[in-house]
Amino acid sequence: MRRVSEAFEKLFSPARLGAIELRNRVIRTACFEGMSRGGTPNDALVEHHRRIAAGGTAMTTLAYCAVSTDGLTFDTQILMDDRVEAPLSRLAAAVHAEGAAIAIQLGHSGDFSSRAATGCAPMGPSRRFNLYGLAVSRIMEAADLARAADDFGRAAGIAVRAGVDVVELHAGHGYLLSQFLSPHTNRRKDRYGGSPENRRRFPLEVLAAVRASVGSSTPVLVKMNLTDAVRGGLAIDEAIAAARAFESGGATALVLSGGFVSARSCLYMLRGGVPTREMARTQPGLLRKIGLNMFGRLFVARYPYEELFFLEDALRIRKAVGLPLVLLGGVASRTAMERAIDAGFDFVALGRALIRDPDFTDKIRTGALDASDCDHCNRCVAEMAGAGVRCVCLDDQNP
């Protein structure tokens, strides 16, 4: 019989996240599901998160929910308007019935939004060519910034009224808030650009708007980059300063990640396979399909998979802040989970391991498994824009 370590006991003991208590320290991180065509959650999305909750995970996270129409990247994303309150309430109730909490990730795609999904030109901190949408973004003016901050606050209010327990702001991966933080994309000369303090101003205004909307008792997480992994982008030293600013600004916890979805580093956050052929198949429009098939390997960098691939940089954040931290990135085994807890992280976040097996958390807890058998091929990523996220390898095994 395997010895139970102190880290393992802590991993599966109840834990506080702000004002709420989770049954353990395992979180399903926000991985885009692609199950909300037309902007509202469907039955498949409800079942996806219910199964993860039933499998022992303490909290599951709805991914990439757009706070406004102009922030959409796909027409299968949740759009946070009044129509979603009732279906979100049903989804939250299904997760709660299995003993888990539910979080919602709120974001805006900024300068790489898709005109096909939004019906309008993309906008961002600076003027920039949007390779994903094949368009040039316009510069956000003061009125745009005020409206976007209000949209984040309004969306958070809708989520909390629907029974969602935790709000997560997406300030990583090259989405709008990340675009403001990053010197790679923010070349403004006004009070929202230039110095690191100025580049943090808009994300902190959004955090303040959300905190004002949901009150002090609702946990508000911020997902942020440790590094953009692009030339001239946010690097770890500035990420440390950003983490301290989010802590001072009222964040309950930070979720640590990295990479830029609109750059060659789009798979930096995942590591493993580069399924360009499968990704091309699910792209809207013939031009995108052809381009990704022909040139995808040139535009998408390959990063070998290894366990705990964000650990080294994340430890520098751990030393700099006192608020709870969520470690993700290669947390796919009992050993990795224990190492993360031993290193001082409060929660671990899993993605592909739970897409592969929604019972993974309980299987680790009971000793039925020691590690996920996910091979990190990343073909599930392609399905996020297609029929909805799922483990394609399981389909291969059970045709």
pLDDT over 70 percentage in the chain = 90
Active-site residue, selected from the candidate residues 175, 192, 268, 305? 175
Q: Average pLDDT of 394-399?
A: 64
pLDDT reported for residue 282: 55
pLDDT at 293 over 60: no
Under a CB-based contact definition with an 8 Å cutoff, are residues 83 and 101 in contact? no
Output the average pLDDT for the chain.
Answer: 91
Under a CB-based contact definition with an 8 Å cutoff, are residues 256 and 288 in contact? no
pLDDT over 90 percentage in the chain = 75
Strands 220-225 and 253-257: parallel
Token digits of residue 246: 């989010």
DSSP 293-336: HHHHHHHS------TTTTHHHHHHHHHH--S-EEE-SS--BHHH
CA angle at 306 for the pair 398 and 296, rounded to the nearest 5°:
70
Confidence tier at 290 by pLDDT (50, 70, 90) = very low
Q: Could you report the per-residue pLDDT of 358-381, keeping only the tens digit for each? A: 999 999 999 999 999 999 888 887
pLDDT at 117 over 60: yes
pLDDT at 174 over 60: yes
Token digits of residue 337: 């989970």
Query: Which of 105-114, 195-204, 295-304, 345-354 bottoms out in mean pLDDT, i.e. has the lowest?
Result: 295-304
Q: What is the pTM of this model?
A: 0.93
Under a CB-based contact definition with an 8 Å cutoff, are residues 317 and 325 in contact? yes
- Does the annotation mark 132 as catalytic? no
pLDDT reported for residue 214: 98
Annotation: CATH topology of 6-397: TIM Barrel (3.20.20)
Nearest to 62 by CA among 85, 22, 21, 91: 91
Distances in whole angstroms, Cα of residue 310 to Cα of each of 313, 326, 350: 6, 11, 13
Q: Could you report the per-residue pLDDT of 53-106, keeping only the tens digit for each? A: 999 999 999 999 999 999 998 889 999 999 999 999 999 999 999 999 999 999
